[in-house]
Amino acid sequence: MLAAEAGNFYDEYPFDWTERYRPAELATVISPVLIRLLDRLAPNAFVLDVGCGPGRVMTYLAYRQIRALGVDRSFASVVLMQQRCQLPGIVADNLALPLAGGTADLVISDGVLHHTEDPALAFAELCRMLRPGGLLFLAVYRPGGHYEWLYHFPGSVFRRAVRHRLTRALVHATALPLYYLVHVLRSPRKRSWRGARNLFYDYFVTPRVHFLRRDTIEQWCRRCGVRLVEFHPRPIGNVQAFVIEKQ
């Protein structure tokens, strides 16, 4: 799949499901590892959220009055993010960021790298953005967990089904309402139908997911001259989180 096609996917189904959360409540749906890094930032620190989507984390950064720039390949997501939090954003690819390197105190890549065509190249780009002593917060899906199975099956069935009008209607009339019901039960009043639909598409239909192992990330760290300082196998949901420092 071409980069443009992957960008279009999130234009049609942005990762947009937190519109009912007040900014302060967003801390409950952000990784505790990331919250801790934000708590430790110096007053004038600069944060880059690469793959910011419609601004789940950016809205929280605005609430905390943290200086930040959002970057995403999806135009629709960047527009939503800017409307929500009044922070600057640019449409760009994490494989080639149109920004001077060595500027960020914290780079955030939350649920993004595993969707990229070349995660190793994207990782190097994220590291390039860090100033010496700066930190990268990297959250990617865990390999070997139940989500890996769900993405491959029934995900592959859903991915094929949504390509055609009739089978897509069938998915929307069966699997999607069930998924919505689970969300209604798990988070009363917080997930709208549209939010659950966007999560369903991100979860099952997104065109590409790499399940990256810890030793792969460590290998990239050595290659990029950065240091893995924290590894959290299960901080929240289906992801694993890495905190990486540029020396």
Ligand X SMILES: C[S@@+](CC[C@H](N)C(=O)[O-])C[C@H]1O[C@@H](n2cnc3c(N)ncnc32)[C@H](O)[C@@H]1O
| Interacting residues with ligand X (CB under 6 A) | 6, 10, 15, 51-53, 56-57, 72-74, 77, 93-95, 110-112, 115-116, 202
CB of 178 to ligand X, least distance (A): 21
Minimal distance, residue 8 CB to ligand X, in Å? 9
User: In whole angstroms, what is the distance from residue 198 CA to residue 9 CA?
Assistant: 11
Residue (92 or 170) nearer to ligand X, CB: 92
Strands (E), 53-190: 67-72, 89-91, 104-110, 130-141
Q: Minimum distance between the CB of residue 101 and ligand X, rounded to whole angstroms?
A: 16
Q: How far apart are CA 45 and CA 134, in angstroms?
A: 10
Structural contact between residues 78 and 89, judged by C-beta atoms closer than 8 angstroms: yes
* Minimal distance, residue 56 CB to ligand X, in Å: 3
Is 47 strand, coil or helix? strand
In the complex with ligand X, the residue whose CB is nearer, 114 or 166, is 114
37 vs 52, beta carbon nearer ligand X = 52
List of residues 6+ apart from 44 with CB closer than 8 A: 67
Q: Strand pairing partners for 138?
A: 109, 242
The residue nearest ligand X at its CB is: 53
Looking at beta carbons only, is 82 or 167 nearer to ligand X?
82
